[in-house]
């Protein structure tokens, strides 16, 4: 490969010798060898300098701090309108909420859902009336009434109702622990000790769902609204020093059909927390180093779930899925690279290893 023909940003940051060393080391890893997509982008950086940079510098640190807007939100002084869809778990949704928390200026946020799996229709027209009200107010000086409305408007899924709010998380939130139960239950009452094991499938065939363990509430006897951030506190063991935890929360109808409510994920070696920036409902991982997992030891993982708003109807169930890889049938675009090594994952509950899901219950 010719270093002189490639200009990813990392080549301005690291020496040619250091780049070569990192590329050679990555080429030997099972994850790169198992992924033609990553292998090609590592071998031919000019195909996508951005992906190459991510591979060369996978952890957070000064390289990204120089370029990240997340560390400069407080410097933005113009009015900001944040608009995002609930289903943008992997891309835009977390950025919108981080911006909302970090901005120190006039701001509004609107969270909606879209008819298309890829988001609002192109060219952008689904929310033109809202955008015109915003720009007419700030650029033309027209009194559109938009600034007289509450700062947050959300679409509550399940009932498909629009609702105005004044803060996030909501002040009326009842933070509730849903404990993982023996046999796959999910309850607000702690249960007995148990463990369930599943094994990832590095050679998962297209159209197949990935191995997982599931935990579910009984059929609800009344509506249950979950609106806000959430977290899974998971006690688990693995028989290798690395794994990926993929978490899905779904709404299951009486006929067995499901719809995705929210997602979360965490690389096992990135489990380190920053206590000064963490909250019970939003654990903060600095992602600045890889800490290998002690093999076959029970370890606690605090896994952030993306913010959500959902009313689970009477007779429905709240289902928690824990897996180690994405299935292309569910994640054809924004999927995570799984471990290329067969790994046993054991999820523990009860006793000293009482795993639980912390959810923002909103009184109805």
Query: What CATH number does residue 105 fall under?
Result: 3.40.50.1820
Parallel/antiparallel/unpaired status of strands 224-238 and 299-312? antiparallel
End of a domain among 165, 183, 215?
165
Query: Which pLDDT value is given to residue 242?
Result: 94
In a domain, 98, yes or no: yes
How many domains would you assign to the chain? 3
Q: What percent of the chain has pLDDT over 70?
A: 96
Q: Is the pLDDT of residue 297 over 70?
A: yes
Q: How far is CA 273 from CA 39, 166, 349, in A?
A: 31, 29, 21
Which token pair is 352? 């000293």
Task: Tell me the three state secondary structure of residue 214.
Answer: strand
Distance CA 30, CA 10 (A): 23
Same domain, 33 and 16: yes
The conformation of residue 151, written as its DSSP 8-state character, comes to S
pLDDT-based confidence at residue 26 (cuts at 50, 70, 90): very high
Query: What CATH number does residue 282 fall under?
Result: 2.60.120.260
In a domain, 63, yes or no: no
In a domain, 235, yes or no: yes
Task: Tell me the three state secondary structure of residue 247.
Answer: strand
In a domain, 13, yes or no: yes
Same domain, 202 and 335: yes
pLDDT-based confidence at residue 202 (cuts at 50, 70, 90): confident
In a domain, 39, yes or no: yes
Exposure string for 42-81, b = 16+ CB within 10 A, e = fewer = beebeeebebbbebbbeebeebbeeeeeeeebeeeeeebb
Region 336-341: what's the mean pLDDT?
84
Same domain, 349 and 200: yes
Looking at 205-209, 248-252, 255-259, which range is the least confident one? 205-209
Q: Is the pLDDT of residue 5 over 60?
A: no
Query: Which pLDDT value is given to residue 343?
Result: 96
Same domain, 221 and 286: yes
pLDDT-based confidence at residue 120 (cuts at 50, 70, 90): confident
Query: Which pLDDT value is given to residue 254?
Result: 98
Same domain, 227 and 345: yes
In a domain, 161, yes or no: yes
289 phi/psi in degrees, rounded to 5: -160, 160
Query: Which pLDDT value is given to residue 2?
Result: 46
Q: Is the pLDDT of residue 54 over 50?
A: yes
pLDDT-based confidence at residue 123 (cuts at 50, 70, 90): low
Query: Which pLDDT value is given to residue 6?
Result: 57
In a domain, 255, yes or no: yes
Helix axes 49-56, 16-27, angle to 10 degrees: 80
Inter-residue contact 31 to 337 (CB < 8 Å): yes
In a domain, 86, yes or no: yes
Q: Which domain holds residue 134?
A: 69-165
Question: pLDDT averaged over the chain?
Answer: 93
Distance CA 77, CA 198 (A): 49
Same domain, 299 and 257: yes
Region 290-295: what's the mean pLDDT?
96
Same domain, 239 and 193: yes
């Amino acid at each position: 490969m010719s270093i002189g023909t490639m200009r990813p940003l990392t080549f301005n940051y690291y020496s040619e010798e250091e780049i070569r060393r990192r590329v050679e080391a990555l080429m030997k890893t099972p994850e790169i060898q198992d992924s033609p997509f990553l292998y090609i982008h590592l071998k031919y950086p000019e195909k996508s300098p951005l992906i190459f940079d991510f591979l060369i510098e996978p952890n957070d640190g000064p390289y990204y701090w120089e370029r990240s807007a997340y560390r400069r939100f407080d410097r933005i002084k113009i009015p900001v309108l944040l608009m995002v869809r609930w289903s943008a778990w992997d891309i835009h949704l977390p950025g919108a909420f981080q911006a909302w928390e970090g901005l120190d200026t006039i701001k509004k946020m609107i969270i909606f859902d879209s008819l298309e799996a890829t988001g609002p229709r192109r060219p952008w027209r689904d929310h033109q009336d809202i955008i015109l009200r915003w720009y007419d107010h700030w650029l033309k000086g027209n009194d559109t009434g938009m600034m007289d409305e509450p700062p947050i408007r959300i679409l509550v899924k399940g009932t498909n109702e629009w609702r105005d709010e004044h803060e996030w998380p909501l002040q009326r939130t009842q933070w509730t622990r849903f404990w993982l139960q023996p046999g796959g239950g999910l309850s607000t009452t702690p249960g007995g000790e148990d463990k369930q094991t599943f094994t990832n499938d590095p050679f998962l065939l297209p159209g197949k769902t990935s191995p997982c363990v599931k935990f579910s509430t009984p059929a609800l006897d009344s509506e249950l609204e979950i609106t806000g951030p959430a977290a899974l506190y998971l006690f688990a063991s693995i028989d290798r020093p690395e794994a990926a935890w993929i978490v899905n929360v779904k709404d299951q109808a009486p006929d067995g059909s499901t719809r995705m409510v929210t997602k979360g994920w965490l690389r096992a070696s990135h489990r380190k927390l920053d206590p000064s920036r963490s909250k019970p409902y939003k654990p903060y991982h600095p992602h600045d180093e890889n800490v290998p997992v002690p093999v076959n030891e029970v370890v606690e993982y605090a896994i952030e779930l993306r913010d959500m708003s959902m009313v689970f109807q009477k007779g429905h169930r709240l289902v928690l899925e824990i897996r180690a890889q994405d299935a292309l049938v569910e994640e054809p675009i924004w999927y995570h690279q799984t471990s290329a090594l067969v790994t046993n994952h054991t999820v523990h509950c009860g006793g000293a290893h009482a795993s639980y899901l912390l959810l923002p219950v909103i009184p109805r």
